[in-house]
């Protein structure tokens, strides 16, 4: 499983804390059915824990009396988040251990710092609620990520690695 970048973990956590300080949400929720053979051998709860690393995880869920919302947040690459949400929506219907689920209809929410027209169109076409959340630190984070792939930064990284090796720090 690919680990979520630190900036995106922070982004999701801050979004949830800012808009839902009283709770009603759970982050990093595994989705999909636990195989029958695992449930038979270990039971639902222990089997789900053992199988957790193999299950896709939605960034968060929000449970309200009228709607159970799957939340996927992306600082970059909203296309991936749209595809992920569609997968997560289909898996949620087969998930026996959804936290805070009480039979509500299941909705989808895409949280991004900005949205081009195609993102808005795709989200709407797939029945997703689109939320624009732009905390102050996002601009610096994006600029830093862009700089990471520049020739200048690569040279700085290579020099740092060379010095670490020269001083026996690696």
Per-residue pLDDT of the chain (170 residues; tens, 9 = 90+): 344 457 789 999 999 999 999 999 999 999 999 999 999 999 989 999 999 999 999 999 999 999 999 999 999 889 999 999 999 999 999 999 999 999 999 999 999 999 999 999 999 999 999 999 999 888 877 677 565 666 776 777 788 888 888 888 87
Give the list of residues 6+ apart from residue 54 with CB closer than 8 angstroms, or none: none
Residue 153: per-residue pLDDT: 67
Residue 147: per-residue pLDDT: 56
Query: CA angle, corner 154, sides to 148 and 156, nearest 5?
Result: 105
Give this prediction's pTM.
Answer: 0.80
CATH topology of domain 6-135: Trna Endonuclease; Chain: A, domain 1 (3.40.1350)
Residue 145: per-residue pLDDT: 59
Cβ atoms of 114 and 133 closer than 8 Å: no
């Amino acid at each position: 499983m690919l680990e979520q970048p630190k900036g995106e973990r922070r982004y999701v956590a801050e979004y949830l804390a800012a808009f839902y300080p009283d709770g009603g949400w759970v982050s990093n929720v595994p989705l999909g059915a636990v195989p029958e053979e695992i449930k038979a051998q270990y039971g639902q709860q222990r089997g789900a824990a053992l199988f957790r690393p193999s299950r896709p995880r939605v960034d968060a869920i929000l449970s309200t009396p009228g709607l159970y919302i799957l939340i996927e947040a992306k600082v970059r690459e909203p296309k991936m988040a749209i595809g992920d949400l569609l997968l997560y929506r289909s898996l949620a219907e087969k998930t026996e251990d959804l936290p805070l689920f009480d039979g509500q209809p299941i909705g989808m929410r895409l949280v991004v710092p900005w949205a081009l027209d195609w993102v808005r169109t795709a989200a709407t076409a797939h029945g997703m609620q689109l939320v624009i959340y732009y905390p102050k630190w996002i601009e610096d984070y994006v600029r830093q990520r862009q700089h990471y792939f520049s020739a200048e930064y690569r040279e700085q990284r290579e020099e740092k690695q060379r010095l670490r090796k020269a001083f026996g720090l690696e």
